[in-house]
């Protein structure tokens, strides 16, 4: 049986090794993806181009912009790559303030929010269709894309998804606007920069950030020309890339979005409550009942009482008296460290201090011990009286 199981496991391992992983030709735009339309190479190229500075990955671009605005940060560079870039009026003002403070933003997307483009006197790319850009597996050969660098237009070709996605109507005018990239045979504008202390660069084609584009020679230099417009020594460099994002640059985390749904919010709160109850009750220490042990009794006195009872039953009172006094003096020696060879006034004084009893009473008790020990006529009443006296001065 074990041999059959071993053969089956080996067969499954060999079968899994022989399966070739299929290439994903869909648009991914993930910074860690090495698929054709992932952004792994672009992310690594930025690390090489800014060799003196680390490129920090961020999961929420708007929160980073808000934080930088609060800290009045300047000379930062932020690269944003996504399929669609949407902002409302508040978010657009935050982005604008970020650029006015002297920071630089490069956004590569197929479409932008209408509010943002209206402010910039632009229109969305005319050739953008979400279905074809994300799922079209066909490759279009010899597509042209160009970028102007040092007053010279550099053209590149690309064999892959459609990159002929220029901006629509462009009515933006002014000295602070630079149109320095185009696509298609007529090189219609797909790359434009707005200067406002810092710079805001919009590219209507995120394909330029994908592995498949940069691996086709010599397209890697396109990214180098694009980066050349940015400061060589920025204070911070941020990278954000995501295929889909909801809301305003992921202004809300997934948790906050989830907790807005009443059913999920109440379920989450109930789960937290149950976990708290479990921790409260299970954190109590569990151990067996430990009985309370009685304190140690004076065994020497118990022994004296036992022996005394034995002698008392035989009416040998003198012997009983002798044994009781002997054991009592042994008790005094072992517990109070007093010498009992001389039952004199000095001994009585020391014993009264140890027992915290009046000196005269202790002196009379010691004198009685000395008397009764040498007495020849000892009655039962003498034995009982001595017993109670010993108990009193123990």
Cα gap 60→238, rounded to integer Å: 11
Look up residue 295 and give its DSSP letter.
P
**What per-residue confidence (pLDDT) applies to 249?**
44
Q: Is 204 in contact with 227 (CB distance < 8 Å)?
A: no
Distance CA 103, CA 99 (A): 5
Q: How far apart are CA 313 and CA 100, in angstroms?
A: 113
Please report the DSSP string for 201-253 in residue order: EEES-GGGGSHHHHHSTTTHHHHHHHHTTS-SS-SEEEEEEES---TTTS-S-
Q: How much is the pLDDT for 1? A: 46
The domain spans of the chain are: 24-248, 299-392
User: pLDDT, tens digit, for every residue of 216-227?
Assistant: 989 999 999 999
**3-state helix vs strand vs coil in the chain, percent to 5:** 45, 15, 35
Burial class (CB in 10 A: 0-12, 13-18, 19+), 76: buried
Q: What is the CA 271 to chain-centroid distance, rounded? A: 19
User: What pLDDT sits at residue 202?
Assistant: 95
Residue among 52, 61, 65, 11 nearest 31 (CA):
61
**Mean pLDDT score of the chain:** 82
Tell me 261's DSSP state: S
- Average of per-residue pLDDT across 114-122: 88
Buried (b) or exposed (e) across 190-200, using 16+ Cβ within 10 A?
Answer: bbbbbbeebbb
Mean pLDDT of 244-267: 64
What does the radius of gyration of the chain's CA atoms come to, in whole angstroms? 49
| pLDDT one-digit tens code per residue, 268-319 | 889 888 888 888 877 766 667 778 887 766 565 666 667 666 666 666 777 7
The answer to whether 16 and 189 are in contact (CB under 8 A) is no
Lowest mean pLDDT across 13-17, 98-102, 105-109, 354-358: 13-17
Q: What is the mean pLDDT of residues 179-204?
A: 93
Instruction: Judge contact between 205 and 185, C-beta under 8 A.
Output: no
Report the alpha-carbon distance of residue 123 to residue 168 in Å, rounded.
5
3-state secondary structure (DSSP) of residue 112: strand
């Amino acid at each position: 049986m074990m041999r059959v199981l071993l053969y089956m496991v080996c067969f499954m391992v060999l079968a899994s090794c022989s399966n070739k992983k299929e290439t994903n030709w869909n648009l991914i735009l993930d910074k860690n993806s090495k698929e054709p339309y992932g952004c792994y190479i672009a992310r690594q190229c930025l690390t090489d181009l800014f060799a003196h500075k680390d490129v920090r990955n961020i999961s929420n671009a708007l929160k980073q912009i808000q934080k930088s605005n609060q800290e009045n940060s300047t000379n930062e560079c932020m690269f944003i790559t996504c399929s669609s870039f949407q902002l409302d009026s508040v978010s657009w003002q935050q982005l604008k303030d970020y650029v006015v403070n002297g920071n630089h933003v490069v956004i590569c997307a197929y479409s932008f929010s209408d509010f943002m483009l209206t402010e910039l006197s632009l229109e969305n790319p005319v050739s953008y269709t979400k279905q074809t850009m994300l799922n079209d597996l066909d490759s279009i050969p010899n597509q042209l894309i160009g970028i102007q660098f040092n007053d010279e237009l550099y053209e590149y070709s690309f064999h892959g998804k459609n990159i002929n996605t220029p901006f629509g109507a462009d009515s933006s005018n002014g000295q602070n606007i630079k149109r320095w990239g185009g696509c298609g045979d007529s090189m219609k504008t797909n790359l434009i920069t707005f200067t406002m202390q810092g710079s805001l660069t919009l590219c209507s084609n995120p394909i330029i950030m994908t592995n498949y584009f940069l691996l086709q020679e010599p397209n890697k230099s396109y990214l180098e020309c694009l980066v050349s417009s940015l400061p060589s020594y920025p204070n911070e460099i941020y990278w954000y890339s995501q295929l889909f994002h909801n809301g305003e640059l992921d202004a809300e985390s997934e948790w906050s979005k989830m907790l807005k749904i009443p059913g999920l919010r109440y379920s989450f709160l109930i789960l937290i409550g149950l976990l708290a109850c479990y921790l409260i009750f299970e954190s109590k220490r569990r151990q067996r009942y430990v009985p309370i042990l009685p304190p140690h009794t004076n065994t020497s006195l118990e022994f004296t009482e036992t022996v005394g009872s034995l002698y008392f039953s035989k009416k040998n009172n003198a012997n009983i008296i002798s044994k009781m006094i002997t054991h009592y003096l042994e008790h005094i020696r072992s517990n109070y460290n007093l010498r009992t060879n001389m039952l004199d006034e000095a001994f009585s004084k020391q014993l009264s201090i140890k027992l915290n009893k009046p000196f005269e009473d202790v002196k009379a008790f010691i004198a009685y011990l000395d008397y009764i020990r040498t007495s020849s006529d000892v009655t039962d009443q003498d034995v009982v009286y001595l017993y109670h006296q010993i108990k009193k001065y123990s």
